[in-house]
Amino acid sequence: MANSAQAIKRARQAENSRQLNASQRSNMRTYIKKVINAIESGDKDAASAAFKVAVPVIDSAAGKGLIHANKAARHKRRLNQHIRAL
């Protein structure tokens, strides 16, 4: 348990950050799933449109340090490969 005022404040800030990060991570995963669902349905136009919306969200997550830049690149590359294969 936090004993000093500084430790109490840091614990409070850490909890706020955790909740914000969880929300942003969930949002990113939602956009990725929209692309995946469009790919699985076989609709190339819908998949491309969903991909164009998802890319800035993935980049934003990487820019905020929510995920590593290489993970963002990996997601984008794999999604794009699936779209091009349609």
Q: What is the per-residue pLDDT across 11-34, written as a single tens digit (0 to 9) for each?
A: 999 999 999 999 999 999 999 999
Domains identified in the chain, total number: 1
Cα(82)–Cα(78) distance, rounded to whole angstroms? 6
The gap from C-alpha 48 to its chain's centroid, in whole angstroms, comes to: 17
CATH of the domain at 38: 1.20.58.110
Sequence-ordered list of residues with C-beta below 8 angstroms from that of 52, at least 6 positions apart, any chain:
none
**pTM for the structure as a whole:** 0.84
How many residues in total does the chain contain? 86
Cα(86)–Cα(55) distance, rounded to whole angstroms? 19
Q: Which domain holds residue 33?
A: 5-85
pLDDT over 70, % of the chain: 100
Sequence-ordered list of residues with C-beta below 8 angstroms from that of 29, at least 6 positions apart, any chain:
none
